[in-house]
Amino acid sequence: MPELPEVETVVRGLRAPLVGQRIERMWQDWPPTIHSPSPPEFGERIAGQSVLAVDRRGKYILIRLQRDTLVIHLKMSGRLYVAAAEAQQEADRWVHVRFDLAGGRQLRFSDLRKFGRVYLTQDVEALLAHLGPEPFSDAFSPAYFLAGLRGRTRAIKAQLLDQGFVAGVGNIYADEALFRAGIHPATPVDQLAKADAALLQRTIRAALEAGIAHEGASINWYRKADGEKGDSQNHFYVYGRAELPCLQCGAAINKIRVAQRGTHFCPACQPARD
């Protein structure tokens, strides 16, 4: 699933072709993708609205219109891109929602797995109220991070995947942040010292910043808005490197399951705690 760096990269790639464009109509052939409102109301409301801005909240893409906000969650295999109406691309085979723009271009939402969701809302804050703070915001402070760990016993990897704790971190960047902090992913939260928490708060930001700098990870379906691959997968320390030597110490990277997710770590750099 695309995480914060991938979604941020898509958002940045959509701003130039979308901002200022007027949406003329919506087309869809898979109603479950349209979460709310109903497809007929959705199409009627969005027609004629112009795009004012393209932003992100956690893993959600926010296309701000004159009266509403178009909210899109890419989920497992979603791709969002702008193309000329007559242009054909490989990803078009899985386009289930399309927005026709004035001037002959289209915003296409391709989703092979059909898990993606599209919303049209006038209250983004209420829709996304379940999300915790943005990792780069002042709200995601060392004090907030430490307070969120108190009284918990689950594995730290599970804590980082909790979107109510911090928005946008997923399986990939949780593994990368934990490696940078030297913390075993199965460590119970209540075993982390204050210094561990402060370091991990910083390495979460560092891992995400690296992901954005390399324009996301094209491991499976993710592509940038222009259709090109991101490069983050070529710069990971542990994710996707099971049995390969650790870039820091040379030990073989291990892969286990934590919080029901495949989890990569270095047993030497991230030793388990007794």
Q: Which of 2, 5, 17, 185 is catalytic?
A: 2
Q: Which of 8, 56, 57, 59 is catalytic?
A: 59
Tell me if 183 sits within 8 A of 143, measured CB to CB: no
Q: Residue 254: phi, psi to the nearest 5? A: -100, 155
Hey, what are 253's tokens?
Answer: 């990277």
Residue in the structure block whose two tokens are 């700098």: 213
Q: Which of 64, 154, 202, 261 is catalytic?
A: 261
Contacts 24+ apart (CB under 8 A), 82-87: 82/14, 82/17, 82/18, 82/106, 82/107, 82/108, 82/225, 83/108
3 among known catalytic residues: yes
Tell me if 75 sits within 8 A of 116, measured CB to CB: yes
By CB atoms closer than 10 A (0-12, 13-18, 19+), residue 153 is exposed
215 among known catalytic residues: no
Q: Which of 3, 6, 176, 215 is catalytic?
A: 3
Hey, what are 210's tokens?
Answer: 């690296």
59 among known catalytic residues: yes
Distances (CA, A) of 13 to 9, 102, 127, 230, 270: 6, 19, 24, 12, 36
Q: How far apart are CA 2 and CA 189, in angstroms?
A: 25
Q: How far apart are CA 270 and CA 78, in angstroms?
A: 33
Task: Name the strand (E) or helix (H) holding 125.
Answer: helix 124-127
What contacts 245, CB < 8 A, 6 or more positions away? 251, 252, 253
22 among known catalytic residues: no
Longest dimension (CA), the chain: 64
Query: Could you list the active site residues?
Result: 2-3, 59, 261
